[in-house]
C-alpha cells in the first residue's frame, strides 16, 4: 500500500492527513494552536511550529497504527501547506531576523498602496512583498541582513528537505506571477529593484509548479517531524503550497471557469479565470492555481473567529447548568436554529472583524453586536446574523467580479469549518453570493487532504495535467448542491444593505475603542 502524507498549518489547527494509492484518507492527526499579538503584530513562535507539527504527526502515526496494526515507517510522498502570505526573513546563516509576521497583519497599508500604484497591479497588505517594502519604509534594521524571505509553508519545507523552493500558488501570494514564464513577473521585479535596490529573484524562493521535484525528506527533516525517529528519510516532496491552492485541489477547482469558497478563520473565494479582468480592482487579488493558471481571489481576514467565541459562550452557559453536550452537537444545534430566524436577521447587526478588512476600508477590527431597542433578541435571529456576518464582506467583494466584471459562475465548491454542519452554512452562503454552493463528501478533510493529493500527483501524475489527475480522483466523489433560496436571498439583501450603512459604527469602534 502506498502512503502519501499532507500537512497543513492553518490559522487555528495543524492537520496531517495520510492517503493511500486510491487517494482515500487512511489516518489523520491534529494539533490546535493560536496566533499571538506581540509588539503590534500577529505572530506564531517557530518553536510552536515544530512542536505542533510533531504533535500532529504523533497523533497521525498513532491513528495509523491503531487502524493498520503496524508502525508508520515509510512514506511514498510528502507535502507541506500553510496559511499564505506573511513575512519570514532570514540572514545568510538561516537565522530568523524578526518574529514571523502573519497574513493577518494589516500594518502595510502604505507599502501596499505605493506598490499597487507603481506596478498597476493590486498588491494586498498581507502579501510578502508588502511586508518587505513596509519594513524598508519603516527603516527597520533587519532589512540590510536579509538573505531569504519565504512563507510559512516554504520555511517548513526548507527545513524538512534542505530545498528553499515554493509552489507557484504560494509564490503568487508573495509577488505577482507571470503565468507564461511560471515565475515572478520580470517587469515588476525590475521595477522593485529600481525602487529598493533589492532583487526579488535573489531573496524570494525559486518557483515550482505542481508535479515538479521539490527535493526529499532529509535525516534532519525526519528528526524535526517524527520525534520517534522511526520514519525513513528520502521521501519525495512536492512543492510547498498555500492554503488557497490546496483548497482548490481539495474541491477540484483548478480548471478555468471553476471556483471554490473556503470558510474558516478567514473566508475567501477563488475563481479560475478564462481571461484577464478588464481593470485593476484593489479588492481583488490575482494569484494562481498550483499549476499556474490565473485566479481572481476575494479574501476577507475575518470569518468564524467571532462566531466561535459566541458558541463557546453558549457552551459555558450550558455546562454551568449541568448540560453535557459535545462541541459538534453544540455547533449543529445553534446552526440549525439559525434557519428558524427571520430571513433578514430580525434587525440585528454583527461585525465579526478581529482584524482589518481592506474590502470595507477597515485598518483594524472590533467585534461588534448592534441592535435597535425594538429588535427582537431571539436565538434564531442572533445565530442567523452571526452566520451572515461571516460571509458579508465576501459578498461585497464578490459583487466586483459578478456585477462589475461580468464573471459568470455556475457553481462554487464549499469547504472549511463553516460547512461542517450539513446544509446550513451552505444554504446561507448560496443566498449571500447568489450562486449554487456544493459541498463534497471529502470537503471536511480540507487543505491537508489537498496537499496530500499534490504529494501523490508528484509521484503518480507523470504525463497528466493536474486537472486530468484530479478528474480521476474525483470521478466517484459525491456532493450535495444547494440552490439559492429566494426568501433567503431577499433577506440577505436587506441585511447587507443595513450592513453597509452600519459600517460607520464599526469604523467608530475602531477609532474610539483602543487598548
Q: Distance between CA 268 and CA 259 in Å, rounded? A: 11
217 and 79 in contact (C-beta within 8 Å)?
Answer: no
Three cell numbers at 191?
521595477
Please report whether residue 12 resides in a domain. no
All three cell numbers of 246: 490546496
Whether 378 and 501 share a structural domain: yes
**Confidence band of 335 (pLDDT split at 50, 70, 90):** very high
Please check whether residue 5 lies inside any domain of the structure. no
Q: Rounded to an integer, what distance in angstroms lies between the CA atom of residue 214 and that of residue 349? A: 48
Do residues 207 and 183 make contact, with C-beta atoms less than 8 angstroms apart?
Answer: yes
Distance of CA 104 to the CA centre of its chain: 11
Return d(Cα 257, Cα 58) in angstroms, integer.
40
pLDDT of residue 1: 85
Percent of the residues in the chain that have a pLDDT greater than 70, as a whole number: 99
Query: Nearest Cα to 512, choosing from 359, 306, 364?
Result: 364
Mean pLDDT for 57-71 is 96
Per-position DSSP letters for 92-106, written without gaps between them: TT--B-SPPBPTT--
CA separation for the pair 15, 232 (Å, rounded)? 21
Q: Is residue 103 part of a domain?
A: yes
- Name every residue whose Cβ is closer than 8 Å to that of residue 69 and which is 6 or more positions away in sequence: none
Pair 359, 495 in one domain: yes
pLDDT tens per residue, range 266-280: 898 999 988 778 889
Mean per-residue pLDDT, 178-183: 93
Whole-number pLDDT of residue 409: 84
Q: What does the pLDDT average to over 318-327?
A: 95
Query: What secondary structure, in 3-state letters, does 179-230 show?
Result: CCCCEECHHHHHHHHHHHCCCHHHHCCCEECCCCCCCECCHHHHHHHCCCCC
Cell numbers 492517503 correspond to what residue? Answer: 19
Q: What's the confidence (pLDDT) of residue 498?
A: 97
DSSP tag of 256: T
pLDDT score of 393: 97
Mean pLDDT of the chain: 94
**Which among 204, 229, 250 is the end of a domain?**
204
Q: What is residue 487's predicted lDDT score, i.e. its pLDDT?
A: 98
The pLDDT of residue 445 is 62
The reply to whether 189 and 311 lie within a common domain is: no
* Under 8 Å between Cβ of 418 and 265: no
pLDDT band at 415 (very low <50, low <70, confident <90, very high): confident
Residue 286, C-alpha cell as written in the block: 490575482
pLDDT score of 60 more than 60 = yes
- Label residues 463-487 b or e (16+ Cβ within 10 Å = b): eeebbebbeebbeeeebeebebeee
Q: In sequence order, which residues have a C-beta less than 8 Å from that of residue 414 and are 6 or more positions away?
A: 251, 260, 261, 262, 263, 425, 426, 429, 437, 438, 439, 443
* Domain assignment present for 173: yes
**Hey, CA dihedral for 341, 342, 346, 352, is it positive or negative?**
positive
Helix, strand or coil for residue 6? Answer: strand
Residues 437-466, mean pLDDT to the nearest whole number: 88
Model confidence band, residue 408 (pLDDT cutoffs 50, 70, 90): confident
**Structure confidence at residue 442 (pLDDT):** 62
Q: Tell me, what's the pLDDT at 300?
A: 93
**pLDDT tens-digit profile of 209-254?**
999 999 999 999 999 999 888 999 999 999 999 998 998 998 899 9
Q: How many domains does the chain have?
A: 2
- In terms of domains, do 176 and 313 share one? no
What is the per-residue pLDDT for 87?
98
For residue 57, the Cα-to-chain-centroid distance in whole angstroms is 21
Residues forming beta bridges with residue 37, ordered by sequence position: 42
Q: Classify residue 327: in a domain, yes or no.
A: yes
- Rounded Cα–Cα distance for residues 417 and 23 (Å): 22
Q: What is the pLDDT of residues 144-162, one digit of tens each?
A: 999 999 999 999 999 999 9
What pLDDT shows up at residue 392? 98
With 70 as the cut, is the pLDDT of residue 361 above it? yes
- Cα 214 off chain centre by: 22
Banded pLDDT at 515 (limits 50, 70, 90): low
**Position 502 confidence tier, pLDDT thresholds 50, 70, 90:** very high
As given in the structure block, the three cell numbers for residue 411 are 457553481
Domain span at 358: 305-442+479-512
pLDDT band at 207 (very low <50, low <70, confident <90, very high): very high
- Cα atoms in the 13 Å half-sphere on the side-chain side of 118: 20
Query: What backbone torsions phi and psi does residue 40 show, to the nearest 5 degrees?
Result: 85, 5
Q: Is residue 433 part of a domain?
A: yes
Is the same domain home to 485 and 342?
yes
In a domain, 325, yes or no: yes
Which residues is 349 bridged to in the sheet? 370
Per-residue pLDDT tens for 441-451?
765 567 899 99
Query: 379-399 and 486-512 are packed helices; what angle lies between their axes, rounded to 10 degrees?
Result: 90
Mean per-residue pLDDT for 297-325?
Answer: 95
* Tens of pLDDT, residues 29-49: 999 999 999 999 999 999 999
Please give the pLDDT value at position 326.
95
Taking only the tens place, the pLDDT of each residue in 103-128 is: 989 899 999 999 999 999 999 999 99
Report the percentage of the chain scoring pLDDT > 90.
84
User: What CATH code is carried by the domain that includes residue 321?
Assistant: 3.30.420.40
Amino acid at each position: 500500500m502506498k502512503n502519501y502524507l499532507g500537512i497543513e498549518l492553518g490559522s487555528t489547527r495543524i492537520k496531517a492527513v495520510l492517503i493511500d494509492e486510491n487517494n482515500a484518507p487512511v489516518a489523520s492527526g491534529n494539533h490546535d494552536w493560536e496566533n499571538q499579538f506581540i509588539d503590534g503584530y500577529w505572530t506564531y513562535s517557530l518553536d510552536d511550529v515544530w512542536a505542533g507539527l510533531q504533535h500532529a504527526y504523533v497523533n497521525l502515526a498513532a491513528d495509523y497504527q491503531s487502524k493498520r496494526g503496524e508502525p508508520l515507517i515509510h512514506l511514498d510522498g510528502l507535502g507541506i501547506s500553510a496559511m499564505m502570505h506573511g513575512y519570514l526573513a532570514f540572514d545568510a546563516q538561516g537565522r530568523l531576523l524578526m518574529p514571523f509576521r502573519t497574513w493577518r497583519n494589516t500594518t502595510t497599508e502604505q507599502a501596499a498602496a505605493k506598490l499597487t500604484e507603481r506596478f498597476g497591479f493590486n498588491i494586498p497588505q498581507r502579501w510578502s512583498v508588502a511586508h518587505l517594502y513596509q519594513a524598508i519604509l519603516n527603516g527597520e534594521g533587519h532589512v540590510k541582513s536579509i538573505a531569504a524571505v519565504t512563507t510559512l509553508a516554504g520555511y517548513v519545507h526548507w527545513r524538512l528537505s534542505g530545498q528553499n523552493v515554493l509552489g507557484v500558488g504560494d509564490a503568487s501570494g508573495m509577488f505577482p506571477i507571470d503565468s507564461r514564464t511560471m515565475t515572478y513577473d520580470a517587469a515588476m521585479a525590475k521595477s522593485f529593484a529600481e525602487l529598493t535596490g533589492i532583487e526579488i529573484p535573489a531573496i524570494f524562493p525559486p518557483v515550482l509548479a505542481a508535479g515538479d521535484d521539490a527535493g526529499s525528506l532529509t535525516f534532519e527533516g525526519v528528526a524535526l517531524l517524527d520525534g520517534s525517529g522511526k520514519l525513513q528519510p528520502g521521501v519525495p516532496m512536492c512543492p510547498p503550497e498555500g492554503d488557497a491552492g490546496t483548497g482548490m485541489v481539495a474541491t477540484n477547482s483548478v480548471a478555468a471557469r471553476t471556483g471554490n469558497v473556503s470558510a474558516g478563520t478567514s473566508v475567501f473565494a477563488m475563481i479560475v479565470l478564462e481571461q484577464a479582468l478588464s481593470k485593476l480592482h484593489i479588492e481583488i487579488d490575482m494569484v494562481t492555481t498550483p499549476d499556474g493558471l490565473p485566479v481572481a481571489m476575494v479574501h476577507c481576514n475575518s470569518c468564524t473567529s467571532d462566531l466561535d467565541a459566541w458558541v463557546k459562550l453558549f457552551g459555558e452557559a450550558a455546562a454551568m447548568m449541568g448540560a453535557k453536550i459535545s462541541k459538534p452537537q453544540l455547533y449543529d444545534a445553534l446552526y440549525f436554529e439559525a434557519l428558524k430566524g427571520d430571513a433578514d436577521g430580525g434587525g440585528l447587526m454583527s461585525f465579526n472583524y478581529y482584524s482589518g478588512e481592506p474590502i470595507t476600508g477597515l485598518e483594524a477590527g472590533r467585534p461588534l453586536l448592534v441592535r435597535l431597542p425594538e429588535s427582537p433578541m431571539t436565538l434564531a435571529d442572533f445565530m442567523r446574523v452571526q452566520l451572515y456576518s461571516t460571509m458579508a464582506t465576501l459578498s461585497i467583494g464578490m459583487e466586483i467580479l459578478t456585477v462589475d466584471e461580468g464573471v459568470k459562475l455556475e457553481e462554487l465548491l464549499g469547504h472549511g469549518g463553516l460547512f461542517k454542519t450539513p446544509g446550513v452554512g451552505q444554504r446561507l452562503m448560496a443566498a449571500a453570493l447568489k450562486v449554487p454552493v456544493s459541498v463534497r463528501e471529502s470537503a471536511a478533510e480540507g487543505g491537508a487532504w489537498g496537499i496530500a493529493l499534490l504529494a501523490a500527483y508528484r509521484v503518480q501524475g507523470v504525463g497528466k495535467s493536474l486537472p486530468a489527475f484530479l478528474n480521476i480522483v474525483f470521478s466517484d466523489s459525491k456532493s450535495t448542491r444547494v440552490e439559492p433560496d429566494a426568501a433567503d436571498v431577499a433577506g440577505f439583501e436587506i441585511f447587507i444593505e443595513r450592513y453597509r450603512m452600519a459600517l460607520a459604527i464599526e469604523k467608530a469602534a475602531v477609532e474610539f475603542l483602543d487598548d
